[in-house]
Structures are given as structure tokens and as C-alpha cells.
Amino acid sequence: DAGITQSPRHKVTETGTPVTLRCHQTENHRYMYWYRQDPGHGLRLIHYSYGVKDTDKGEVSDGYSVSRSKTEDFLLTLESATSSQTSVYFCAISEPPLMTGGSETQYFGPGTRLLVL
Amino acid sequence: AQSVTQPDIHITVSEGASLELRCNYSYGATPYLFWYVQSPGQGLQLLLKYFSGDTLVQGIKGFEAEFKRSQSSFNLRKPSVHWSDAAEYFCAVGLYNNNDMRFGAGTRLTVKP
């Protein structure tokens, strides 16, 4: 298994509170991603990072922010949690594509189950 | 818009029977295709991938998949299913420069004894 840990693994919070999820990798991969998984939707990309301090939005970025101050850590923050953000959150890592326009395998962490009441 | 469709939400097969999980994609350029498996409460594990070359790719755990450009499909197969294969399976398309990856909604596999 790729060396990816996520913390916390489970969290229950209340609507309107801030929440930060952490992804930590020991593989020194340059790219990192945050996804959410919901029934009937598969996984959807929230934000991704292609290097320290370099991040960009994914498909479902509203209500989320990210930060990456070190290669190994990628933080996902819900500034003011809402019930619609109840989900399972996965972090993934990959190397950059070998060629322009290419794609590389993403490796996933174990997930964080978040419940917003 | 790019999309991935897994037509079957849930499939049940008997142990020892063959399996085929369907995946169709919509993407204008050359696709990078993946199959992942997720056991309950776990993260996603890569089964196999197609980037180029031979259109029949072999993966782990005895799985294989065939890329058919004319049908925009990347179906996953296994000749003889084991009870431990019960899980959820996701097909995914890797997009330009890894800036995004689109997943299908998943197919849940149940294996009957």
C-alpha cells in the first residue's frame, strides 16, 4: 500500500463549525488530491495540488479550501460545515504525468468519514 | 463533457462463475482508463490500467479488461469469481495532465456461495 494516512478517520461535527481534514504521504509524490464519495456519484474531485503551494479547483470545490505547505501534507478545510458535506473523503497521490496530456495512476488513502449534524 | 458510465449498479454472481463489469466513457481524446476496487470501509485499490498498446490488459487478482475504442468501452472481466471478490468496483478515466479523474458511480458485486 502507498504510504498515505488520513486523519481523523471519523468525525462528527455540527453545522456551521469549521473542519480540517489532513492527508499525509510518505511517498514524496508531487500531486495530491481530495475527493468526496457519495452513493450514486462515485468519487468527485474537490481540489488538487501539483506542488507545494500550488493548488487548483476540481469538480465540486464550493465550500472547501485546501492548503499545501509541505510536500507530504495536504489539508482540506470546510470553513463552515453543512449537512450536504456529509460524505466520505478520500485523499489520493500520484506522480506527474510523464508526458503532456498524459495521466498517472492515483493511489488512495483509507478515507475519512464525516458526519455533519 | 467527459463522463464515465457504469450501467450496472449491483451485480450478483455465483462463486466460480464468470464476471463482466461494464464501463463506457465519453471523452474526446485518447483515454487513460482505470479500474479500482473498494472493499467495505476501505480505500480504493488499483486493479489495472490502460494507457496505450495492447488493448487487453491484465491486472491483479486475476482480473483483465479490454479497451474497445469503437465502443468507447473498458469492460472488466474475471473467468472465475471468488467470494473475496465481493466489493464495489469503479471505472475511471484519467484526464489531461492528471488535472482531473472522472469516476463512474460504481458497481457493487455480490458473490453467492
In chain A, which residues have their Cβ closer than 8 Å to the Cβ of B6?
Answer: 42
Q: Mean pLDDT in chain B?
A: 91
In this predicted structure, what is the pLDDT of residue A16? 97
Model pLDDT for residues B10-36, shown as the tens digit of each residue: 999 999 999 999 999 988 777 789 999
Spell out the per-residue pLDDT of chain A, length 117, in tens. 569 999 999 999 999 999 999 999 999 999 999 999 998 888 999 999 989 999 999 889 999 999 999 999 999 999 999 999 999 999 999 887 776 666 778 899 999 999 999
Instruction: Answer whether B101 sits within 8 Å of A59, measured CB to CB.
Output: no
What is the 3-state secondary structure of chain A? Answer: CCCEEEECCEEEECCCCCEEEEEEECCCCCEEEEEEEECCCEEEEEEEEEECCEEEECCCCCCEEEEEEECCEEEEEECCCCHHHCEEEEEEEECCCCCCCCCCCCEECCCEEEEEC
In this predicted structure, what is the pLDDT of residue A39? 87
Cis? peptide before A8, omega within 30° of 0:
yes
d(C-alpha B106, C-alpha B88), whole Å: 6
Chain B interface with A: residues with Cβ < 8 Å: 4, 6, 29, 32, 34, 36, 41-46, 49, 51, 90, 92, 94-101, 103-106
In this predicted structure, what is the pLDDT of residue B27? 80
Instruction: Answer whether A101 sits within 8 Å of B99, measured CB to CB.
Output: no
- Shortest distance, CA A80 to any CA of chain B (angstroms): 25
Phi, psi of B84 (to 5 degrees): -70, -5
Q: Is A59 exposed, middle or buried (0-12, 13-18, 19+ CB in 10 A)?
A: middle
User: Which segments in chain B show pLDDT lower than 70?
Assistant: 1, 96-99
d(C-alpha A6, C-alpha B1), whole Å: 31
A56 touches chain B (CB under 8 A): yes
C-alpha dihedral sign at B76, B82, B84, B87: positive
Are residues A21 and A6 in contact, defined by beta-carbon separation less than 8 angstroms? yes
Number of Cα atoms under 13 Å in the Cβ half of residue B75: 10
In this predicted structure, what is the pLDDT of residue B41? 82
In this predicted structure, what is the pLDDT of residue B97? 61
Q: Which of A43, A44, A47, A50 to mutate to test the interface with B (most CBs of B within 10 A)?
A: A43
